[in-house]
Amino acid sequence: MSSSPHTLTPGSSVGSIMLLVLAALLPAIAAYYFFFGPAILISLALASATALAAEALMLKLRQYPVKFFLSDGSAILTGWLLALSIPPLAPWWLVVVGTGFAIIVAKHLYGGLGNNLFNPAMVGFAVLMISFPATMTHWPTPLMLAQHPISIGEVLQYYFSGALQGVNLDAVTMATPLDTLKTQLSLQHTVSEVKNMPIFGSFGGKGTEAIAAMYLLGGLFLLQRRIITWHTPVSFLLALTLVAALFNGIDSSRYASPLFHLFTGGAMLGAFFIATDYVTAPTTPLGKLIFGTGVGLLEYVIRVFGGYPDGIAFSILIMNAAVPLIDAYTQPRVFGHDSGVKS
């Protein structure tokens, strides 16, 4: 005996949604591997293992059915999103600490799947950014610029010993395009001068712009599969574009173009994969638009005027805190009513 409806959408489950999102990340991961070498694969594997272990531990401690919840794929997704946000060539503990904090503190101490207020991957990122700022700036050099293409053996060596024999770390890592731009602008160079540096590509950074394009592709796939709605990514990217265009229009020698902002840093990853996280984003259409706009604006403000080269994590965390309020004030009009919520 069960109550109606007696039939459910075939094949729809939390696990299948998470799997589709993971699948949508694959093109970007492939591009990452192509442009920056094998380090990202090690990072993703380590993040996955840590996420599953931390999830299992917390489920066990909270006396939840471990296998049932472990198979939903949400922990692995958190691990992947964090691994894709931090430097892939890093000591092993960086990704382990970040992922562990994300799952244990940001997710389970807030009530587990569906209950966390803040995006776990972004909490993990923020903790690492604040605790290990130096390590968080060692990004791998694009292979086409590297004097020494790093091998998978060397990646593992660096991961577990923290050093590379016979290779200077500076030979395989460098600052990100956003970081470089920020530093160079503070040295009184103009945007066009800075963008002539070899690290910059046609509109973003070399390699990173291709990865950003792949995030965009994956995001379009999620839109097509109706896993996400257009509201968040469109408002996010539109807000970022408009504010970047405004400042770029005022002084193009000090403010980079909108296209540059769209295709560098975590903009595309954030717009399609992080700001769209169901649990920590608004559920109403208008709420999503407000949320996306807020993240887009904050992202720009932190990037250009703040202390960090990129602002995706902090802008999302700030907006996460506003989600209950946004939802409460953006309830859509109900059928047969004049307004959404009765006072």
Partner 1 sequence: MRTLHKFHGGVHPPQHKAESNGLPIAPAPLPKRVIVPLRQHIGAPAKAQVKVGDHVLKGQMIGAADGYISAAVHAPTSGTVSAIDLHAVPHPSGLPDLCITIEADGEDRWIERQRIDYKTAVPDAVRHALRDAGIVGLGGAVFPSYVKLNPGQQAKIKTLVLNGAECEPWITSDDMLMRERAAEIVEGIRIMAHLMQPDEVLIGIEDNKPEAITAMQSACQGTSFEVVAVPTLYPGGGEKQLIQVLTGKEVPSGQRPINIGVICSNTATAYTVHRAINHGEPVISRVVTVTGNVQKPQNFEALIGTPISEIVRQAGDTSHYIMGGPMMGFDLTNLNVPLTKAINCVIAASPALFPPKPAAMPCIRCGQCAQVCPCNLQPQELYWFSQSRNFDKARAYNLFDCIECGCCSYVCPSHIPLVSFYRFAKSEIVMQDREKIAADQAKERFEFKKQREEREKQEKAARMAEKAAAATAAKAAAAASGEMEDPEAAAKKAAIQAAVERAKAKKAEAAALSPSPHPSPVEGEGAKNTEPT
Q: Which residues bind partner 1 (CB under 8 A)?
A: 1-10, 12-14, 16-17, 68-69, 72, 74, 112-115, 229, 278-279, 281, 283-284, 327, 331-337, 341-343
> What is the rounded distance in angstroms from the CA atom of residue 340 to the CA atom of residue 106?
32
Closest distance to partner 1 from the beta carbon of 291 (Å): 12
Nearer to partner 1, 8 or 187 (CB): 8
Contact (CB, 8 A) for 303 and 265: yes
Nearer to partner 1, 307 or 336 (CB): 336
Nearer to partner 1, 137 or 331 (CB): 331
Q: How far apart, in Å, do the first and last CA atoms of the chain sit?
A: 38
Which DSSP letter does residue 205 get?
Answer: B
Closest distance to partner 1 from the beta carbon of 303 (Å): 28
Nearer to partner 1, 1 or 187 (CB): 1
Closest CA to 113 of 80, 49, 64: 64
Q: Residue 139 pairs with which residues in a beta bridge?
A: 174
Contact (CB, 8 A) for 296 and 245: no
Closest distance to partner 1 from the beta carbon of 118 (Å): 14
* CB-based contacts of 18, cutoff 8 Å, min separation 6: 72, 73, 74, 76, 77
Nearer to partner 1, 147 or 343 (CB): 343
The HSE-up count of residue 105 (CA atoms within 13 Å, CB side) is 13
Nearer to partner 1, 20 or 175 (CB): 20
Closest distance to partner 1 from the beta carbon of 126 (Å): 22
Closest distance to partner 1 from the beta carbon of 65 (Å): 9
> What is the rounded distance in angstroms from the CA atom of residue 191 to the CA atom of residue 339?
48
Nearer to partner 1, 71 or 168 (CB): 71
Contact (CB, 8 A) for 177 and 66: no
Closest distance to partner 1 from the beta carbon of 311 (Å): 24
Angstrom CA distances, 9 to 5, 106, 261, stand at 11, 31, 40
Closest distance to partner 1 from the beta carbon of 150 (Å): 38
